[in-house]
Amino acid sequence: MRTELRRTAAQDAALAGAGLALVLASMAALVPLVQGSGWWWTGALVALAIFAGGFGMRAARVPAALVPPAELLLALGILTLLFGEGAVLGVVPTAATFESFGDLGAAAAATIREQTAPVSADEGLRFLLAAGAAVVAVVVDVLAMSLRAPAFAAFAVALPLAVPIIILGELELGLVVLVAALYLLLLWVDVRVRRNDAEPPAPGLPRAHADRRGRTSPAIGSAVALAGAGLLLASIVASSLPMTGGGIGSGSISGGTRVTPFVDLAADLRRPAARQVLHYTTSDDERVYFGLMTLDEIDGAVWRPSESALDRSRDVARFDRPAGLAEDVAVDEQDVRVWVDRLDSSWLPVPAPVASVEGLEGDWYWDASTRAVRSAAASSDAQEYTVSRLVVEPTAEQLRAASLAEVPADFERFTELPEELPASVADALAEVTADAATPYDAATALQAWLRGPTFDYSLDTPVEAGYDGGSLEVVEEFLDVRSGFCVHFASTMAIMARAEGIPARIVLGYMPGDSSGTVIDGRSRRNIDSHDLHTWPELYFEGVGWVPFEPTPGRGVVPDYSRVTSPEAGDPETPATSAPGQPGATTTPTASAPVRPAETIDPEQQAEAQAEAVNLQTGVGVLACLILLLLPALLRALRTALRRGRILDGGADGARAAWSEVRDTAVDLGEVPDHAATVRGFAARIRADSPGFRARDAEPAVLALERITVAVERAEYARPGDVDAPTPADVDLAVAALRAERPWWRALLSIAAPRSFAIYVVDRAGALLQRRA
C-alpha cells in the first residue's frame, strides 16, 4: 500500500493563510453596504478562528473526515459566544440560544429590508454577517485543505462579491483585483505544496523533473480562468435578479405593501392602481399624517436614517416629552385608532409626535432622536393599535422668537451637508431669503417659493430628465427644470434650510388619505393607500421642537403657522386650518395636483404581469446559477462520452482514452496526481488505495485495469497497428472498482466538482499562455 502523503506544518500554514486572506478580502466587498467597520472585524475574528482551528486539528492528526464537521461546531461555538443567549459555559448552545439566533436573523432581515445602503450594523446584522463569514471560511478551508480543490473556492468567495453588484449595481475594481490576486496566491501555494509532496519514486529509479516555468504557467492560467468563472457567477446573479437602488429618491417603497428606501418611492406613486395600506378613525373626521421613518443624514446621493440601535428601555407605552418643546406652546392630546391592512415594515406608521401606543403585537420601541417606532423582529402588517398623539399648535410669533434661539450643540449635525452648496443653489437661496429677518422667516419663504407658480408637480419629468433623487446634484438639476415630486421638494427645502443654519431632516410617511364615508363607534374612518405615500421636511426651532413644513405644490397642506401673509410672497394655496398631522387639516385641490392614471388600466392584470416578469427574471437567474455550478460536472460527462467513442474506434488513441478515463476518475475520487509517475506505477497506486480492487470479487476489475495498462504502454512504445485497445467494458469494470465502498460524500463530490476538470483547465490555460508568451 502506498505511504500516506502528509503536508508539513509550514505547508498547511501557507495554505490556511492564503485561504484566510482570500475570505477577508471577499468580506470587504460588503463595506459600501454596512456602516462602520466593527462588523468586519467580528467576521474576521470568526474566520481566523475557523482557519486556526482547522490548522490545529490537522496538526494534531485528527482524521480528515472529522475536520469539516468539527469546524462547523467550532463556528457554532464562536457565534454562541459572541451573540448567543442562554448558552452553557458561554459556548454550548441551548434551545434558548437558537431562539435568540432566530430573533437576530429576523432583526437582520428587517434591517436589510427597511434601511438604505449603507445600513446600520445593529446586533442582528452583525450576527448575520459573522455567520456568513463562518460559512465561507469553512467552505474555503475544506476545499483548499481537506479536499485539495482550492480552485472551487472561487464560487464561495463569489457570493459576497455578488451582493454589492445586486444592491448597488457596481463593485470596486480595486477590490476585484485584490480578490483575484489572493485567489492566484492560493492556487500558486497549492501548486507549490503539491509539487513538494509528490510521492518519490522507488529507490534506484530515475525521476523526471518538470520544467519549473512550465508548471507554474499552467497554475497561473488556471487561476485566471477560474477567477473569471467566479466573477462570472457574480455577474450572472447580479444581472438576473431585480436591481435595487440606494436610498430615498434613488430608492423606494415597493408595491405599496412594504416600505423600504432601497427601491424608488416614485414606483408606488406611479402605480396605476393604488393599494390600500391602512385605515384609521378619529373624532370629527380629523386628518392625520402618518410618519414611518426619519431620514436625518445626507451622504452623497442619498438621504438615510442615522445609525441607532434599538433601546429596549424605550417602550411604546410611554414617550418622553418632545425635545425642545417649551411649556408655553399649546399642546392637546388626541387618540387615533389604526388598522394596518397591507404594510410589511419594521417601522410603525404613527402620527407625530406620539405620547403612547397601545395594542401592538410584538416588541416595539421608540427612537430618542426621531421618535420613530421600530421593532427588531415584529412587522407592522395586520397590526391594530391606538395612538395617543400630541397636537402641537405653535403660533407664528412663537416660532419666529424660537428661531432666534441658539441651536443646541447636539443638533448641529442636522445642519451638516456632504459638500459645499452648488453656486446655482446658493444663489437661489440668497435670492429667496434676502428679506428674511429670522430663520423662521427664511423657512416660510422657502416653502412659499417652492409651492409657487414657477414649480410643477410631476412624477415623470425627473425620470425623463435623469435627476430622480435627492442629492445636492439632483437638487441643482431640479431647480433648473423646476419639476418634480415630493422627494425633490422636501430634499430641496431641507438642504437649503441646513445651508441657512436651520436643523432639518426629512420624514417619510403617508398623507391623511380619503374619507370612507363610514363611522365606527362614533368615529369617522379614513383610508390611506399607496398613492398617499409622501415625504416632507421637519425643521427644528428651540422652544417649539421639530416642526413640519409642506413645500410640495398640490400635495398636502400648508400649516397655519408657516403661511406667509405678505402679498409679495406669492403663496398660491388657499387657507388651511392646521399643520400636517394636526387636527382639522384640509386638503384643497389645485390645478397642479397630480392626476392619477386612467381607470382603463386593469390593475389586477398589470399586477399579475409584473409578478410574472419578476418570477421569470428570478427563475432565469436561478437557472443560470444552477447551470454554472453544474458546468464542471456537465463538461466532465461530455469528456467521458467523447472518450467512449474513441475507445470504440480502437487503436492507440482508444487505449489512451481508456487510461485517461480511469486516471481522471481516480483523481476525482481524491487520488493525488503525479506527473512524474509511470502509467504502471500510478495504476499500482490506485489499485492499492481503492477498496473496490481489494474486495474478494475484484479479480475481473484487476484484470481489466491490467489490460488497460498494457494497452496504453503498447500505445507509447509498440509499432502502430500492434495495439489492442481495451473495450468500454474494461473501463466500466475499472471505474466501478474505483468507486466501490467510497464515502457517499466523496462519490457525490467527484461527480458535482470533478478535480480532473480543474486540472484540465490548468493544463489548457497554461499551454495557451505559453504559446502567447
CA distances from 359 to 53, 293, 374, 388 (A): 49, 20, 15, 12
Coil, strand, or helix at residue 31? Answer: helix
The whole-angstrom separation of Cα 89 and Cα 723 is: 69
Write out the DSSP string of 678-746: -HHHHHHHHHHH-HHHHSTT-HHHHHHHHHHHHHHHHHHHSPTT---PPPHHHHHHHHHHHHTT--HHH
Q: Select 275-595's CATH number: 3.10.620.30, 3.90.550.10, 3.40.50.300, 3.40.50.1820.
A: 3.10.620.30
3-state secondary structure 618-667: HHHHHHHHHHHHHHHHHHHHHHHHHHHHHHHHCHHHHHHHHHHHHHHHHH
CB 62 within 8 A of CB 38: no
pTM assigned to the model: 0.49
Distance from C-alpha of 758 to C-alpha of 765, rounded to nearest angstrom? 10
CA distance to 350, 421, 429, per residue, from 424 (Å): 37, 8, 9
DSSP state of 530: G
The Cα 165–Cα 580 span in angstroms is: 39
Instruction: Give dist(CA 439, CA 433) in Å, integer.
Output: 9
Encode 319-362 in three state secondary structure.
CCCCCCECCCCEEEEEEEEEEECCCCCCEECECCCEEEEECCCC
What DSSP character marks residue 93?
-
Burial state string for 397-434 with b = 16 or more CB within 10 A and e = fewer than 16: ebbbbbbeeebeeebeebbeeeeebeeebeebbeebbe
d(CA 762, CA 741): 30
* pLDDT confidence of residue 183: 85
**Per-residue pLDDT at 771:** 65
Orientation of helix 651-668 relative to helix 699-717, angle to 10°: 130
Long-range residue pairs from 637-641, CB within 8 A, at least 24 positions apart, any chain: 639/664, 639/757, 639/760
Q: What residues are paired with 297 via a beta bridge? A: 304
CA proximity to 226, closest of 161, 142, 163, 155: 155
Amino acid letter, 609? A
Closest CA to 555 of 679, 458, 416: 458
Is residue 185 left, alpha or beta, with left meaning phi > 0 and alpha meaning psi from -120 to 50? alpha
For residue 348, list its beta bridge partners.
373
535 vs 292: CA distance, rounded Å: 10
Measured CA distances, 418 to 37, 66, 488 (Å): 20, 53, 17
* 8 A C-beta contact, residue 129 and residue 204: no
Cell numbers linked to 550: 409642506
Helix axes 486-499, 439-450, angle to 10 degrees: 160
| Residue 182 · residue 18 · CB < 8 Å | yes
Q: 527 Cβ partners below 8 Å, 6+ apart?
A: 276, 278, 279, 513, 514, 516
pLDDT of residue 300: 61
How does DSSP assign 548-609, residue by residue?
E---STTSS---GGG---SGGG---PPP-SS-TTSTT------TTSPPPPPTTS-HHHHHHH
Buried b (16+ CB within 10 A) or exposed e, 157-175: bbbbbbbbbbbbeebeeeb
What pLDDT, on the 0 to 100 scale, is given for residue 759? 76
Rounded Cα–Cα distance for residues 518 and 757 (Å): 71
pLDDT at 503: 94
- Helix, strand, or coil (residue 123): helix
Whether the CB-CB separation of 291 and 508 falls below 8 Å is answered with yes
Contact (CB, 8 A) for 339 and 277: no
CB 393 within 8 A of CB 426: no
CA dihedral for 77, 81, 84, 88, sign (positive or negative) = positive
DSSP 200: P
Rg, Å, the chain Cα set = 34
The H or E element containing residue 472 is: helix 472-481
* Nearby residues of 241 by Cβ (< 8 Å), 6 or more positions away: 166, 617, 618, 621
* Dihedral (CA of 630, 632, 635, 639) sign: negative
136: left (phi over 0), alpha (psi -120 to 50) or beta: alpha
101 SS3 class: helix
Determine whether 380 is exposed, middle or buried from the number of CB atoms within 10 Å of its CB (0-12, 13-18, 19+): buried
List the chain residues with pLDDT less than 70.
1-7, 113-118, 120, 167-170, 194-273, 300-301, 307, 468-471, 564-626, 628, 720-723, 762-773
Write the CA distances from 42 to 56, 163, 476, integer angstroms: 21, 19, 41
Q: d(Cα 556, Cα 203) in Å, to the nearest integer?
A: 92
What pLDDT does 203 receive?
44
Residue ranges of the domains in the chain?
9-240, 275-595, 618-742
Residue 61 CA to residue 199 CA, distance in Å, equals 20
